[in-house]
Structures are given as C-alpha cells and as structure tokens.
C-alpha cells in the first residue's frame, strides 16, 4: 500500500505599497488587511511593508501547490494568473508584474523550510520565529529592539494594544505577530537608562558576548518585556539568543532626522 505523503508547507510574502508615513502609521494602515488575508505576521520598515502568510496543502506537484495558494491573492489584487510564475531552478514562485489593484506590489511563495526566494535575506528561513536583523548604523550607535507580548489574537488587535509602546519608542521598524511584536529603533542612551525611560521597572540585565568585538546587552522586566541593544557595526547571527525574534528590518540612514 502506498504511504500518504506529508503535507506540503508553504509561506508567502505579499509586499504592499510603502508610502511615506512612519512605521507606526503604516502598521495601523495595513493591520486590518493583514487580518483579512489571515496573515501570520507583518513587517514594516522604511523600505517595505510586508504581510506574511503560511499554508499547508496535500503534497502535490510543487508548482501547482504554489499556484493554488496564490490564486485568491492574485484575484484579490488584480494580477492575471499568468503573471505568477514558478521557477524550477530555485523552486519558488513570484509575480513578474505589478497588479491592477493597489496596495499590493509583489507576491512571492516558497516552501516553508527554504529561504523565501530572493527575500530570504529579508525574512529568514522560517515563518516564525526565525527572523534576522539587517541594518547599518554607525559604529558609535546602538541598535535597540524591544520585544513585547500583548493580550491579542489578531494583527489589528496587537497593533491597538501596542499604542503606548509605539508612542514611547517611535520605532523605525516593527515586526508584528498576533500577540507579540518587536520594535526596532536607535538607542538614545545606555541599556539601563533606556530601560528606565521606557518604564520597564525593575529589570535583570545581562550580556551576551559572541567574540571580543561583539557584545549584546539585554534587560528583561518582570512581565517578560525585553530590551536588547547591540553595537551598530557588529555582525548578526540568527542563532544567538534574542536575535531570532524578529524578521530583517532596515533603518534608513536618515533616521532619526
């Protein structure tokens, strides 16, 4: 008797028009759409606004599986189905032209255990939580990421629950899943000073040292809220504690003004 094949797992990146609004405003704008599409997560930074989705289908032909997952998104935003093309050499599928219906601009679908096409450097190797950070501040600056958990089960509900943090941090980039988020910004001071500024209350601080030139500092409050700082020019590894909790997000050279 033939054995059933395991389900075929896929993930999708739907890129939306970024516009000129700040990260928080863009997050608020697209959160309802992310929930409408059944998204697993959403990323916003100065370069992109991406909705991330996953799907599982019976193991069939890889190309047909990707087209089946893409079809409702293609119809929703006005892409002709022939604009969504599978590339067997890299084993992922993407749109080749912009759609007729905004705000979508691009769609990529790949197997969930592979890099997300050419977007692998942007969104990491897994739907969640395998996400990395890629920014280029100056040597003297410290990159801060604030990891927050909120009582919400949707993207829009999470964004609403984040309003206080969005006002405090004024992030340059935000990665959101239902019930949790990572806010990225440039630290204004040292770890303890920034933790106090953000009202984290009593914190436990620690240092994660990868090598002689790389130090990561963390502060964790009693409720689990974590502030994470690293020197701007240091390298990033997705395998270090605290780093796997966010997708790659970019801070523009002009931030802050």
Measured between alpha carbons, how far is 102 from 25 in angstroms, rounded to an integer?
18
State how far Cα 12 lies from the chain centre: 12
Q: Provide the pLDDT for residue 204.
A: 81
Does a cis peptide bond (omega within 30 degrees of 0) precede residue 103?
A: yes
The 10 Å Cβ neighbour count of residue 78 is 13
Query: What is the percent of the chain where pLDDT is above 90?
Result: 32
- The mean pLDDT value of the chain amounts to 77
Residue 184's pLDDT is 84
Helix (H, G, I), strand (E, B) or coil at 166: helix
Task: Specify which residues 185 forms β-bridges with.
Answer: 144
Find the mean pLDDT for residues 79-87. 94
Res. 241 pLDDT band, cuts 50 70 90:
very low
pLDDT grade for 192, boundaries at 50, 70 and 90: confident
More confident residue, 226 or 136: 226
What is d(CA 104, CA 207) in angstroms, rounded to the nearest whole number?
Answer: 41
Q: Is the distance from CB of 251 to CB of 245 less than 8 angstroms?
A: no
Q: Averaged over 67-91, what is the pLDDT?
A: 92
Rg (CA), the chain: 19
pLDDT range class, residue 128, cuts 50, 70, 90: very low
Q: pLDDT value at position 118?
A: 36
| Of 201 and 181, the one with more pLDDT | 181
Instruction: Average the pLDDT over each of 83-97, 163-177, 189-203, 228-242 and give the range with the smallest value.
Output: 228-242
Which ranges constitute the DSSP H helices of the chain?
A: 23-36, 62-77, 120-123, 155-161, 163-169, 191-197
- pTM of the predicted protein model: 0.82
What does the pLDDT read at residue 81?
94
59-66: long-range pairs with CB below 8 Å, 24+ = 59/5, 59/6, 59/7, 59/8, 60/8, 62/8, 62/86, 62/91, 62/111, 63/88, 63/93, 65/8, 65/10, 66/10, 66/92, 66/93, 66/109, 66/110
> In the predicted model, is pLDDT for residue 86 greater than 70?
yes
Q: Are 243 and 119 in contact (CB under 8 A)?
A: no
pLDDT of 115 > 60? The answer is no
- For residues 118 and 79, the model is more confident at 79
- The pLDDT assigned to 110 comes to 84
pLDDT of res. 38: 94
Q: What is the pLDDT of residue 83?
A: 95
* DSSP designation for 75: H
pLDDT per position as a tens digit, 14-62? 999 999 999 899 999 999 999 999 998 898 887 788 898 888 776 678 8
Can you tell me the distance from the alpha carbon of 186 to that of 137, in angstroms, rounded to the nearest whole number? 8
Say which residue, 239 or 179, is predicted with more confidence: 179
Place 252 in a pLDDT band, splitting at 50, 70 and 90: low
What are the backbone dihedrals phi and psi of residue 79, each rounded to the nearest 5 degrees, phi first? Answer: -85, 135
pLDDT at 21: 93
Give which of 53, 83, 55, 77 is closest to 68, Cα–Cα: 55
């Amino acid at each position: 008797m033939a054995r059933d094949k395991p389900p075929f797992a896929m993930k999708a990146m739907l890129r939306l028009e970024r516009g000129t609004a700040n990260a928080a405003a863009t997050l608020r704008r697209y959160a309802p759409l992310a929930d409408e599409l059944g998204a697993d997560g959403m990323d916003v930074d100065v370069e992109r606004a991406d909705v991330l989705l996953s799907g599982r289908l019976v193991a069939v032909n890889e190309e047909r599986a990707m087209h089946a997952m893409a079809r409702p998104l293609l119809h929703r935003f006005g892409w002709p189905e022939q604009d969504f093309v599978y590339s067997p050499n890299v084993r992922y599928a993407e749109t080749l032209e912009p759609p007729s219906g905004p705000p979508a601009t691009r769609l990529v679908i790949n197997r969930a255990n592979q890099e997300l096409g050419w977007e692998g450097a942007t969104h990491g190797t897994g739907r969640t939580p395998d996400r990395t950070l890629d920014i280029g501040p100056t040597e003297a600056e410290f990159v801060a990421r604030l990891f927050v958990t909120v009582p919400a089960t949707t993207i829009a509900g999470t964004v609403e629950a984040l309003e206080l943090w969005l006002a405090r941090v004024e992030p340059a980039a935000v990665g959101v899943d239902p019930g949790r988020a990572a806010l990225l910004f440039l630290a204004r001071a040292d770890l303890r000073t920034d933790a106090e500024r953000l009202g984290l209350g009593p914190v436990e601080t620690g240092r994660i040292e990868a090598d002689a030139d790389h130090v990561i500092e963390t502060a964790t409050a009693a409720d689990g809220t974590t502030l994470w700082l690293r020197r701007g020019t240091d390298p990033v590894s997705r395998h270090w504690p605290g780093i796997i909790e966010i997708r790659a997000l970019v801070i523009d050279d002009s931030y802050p003004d």
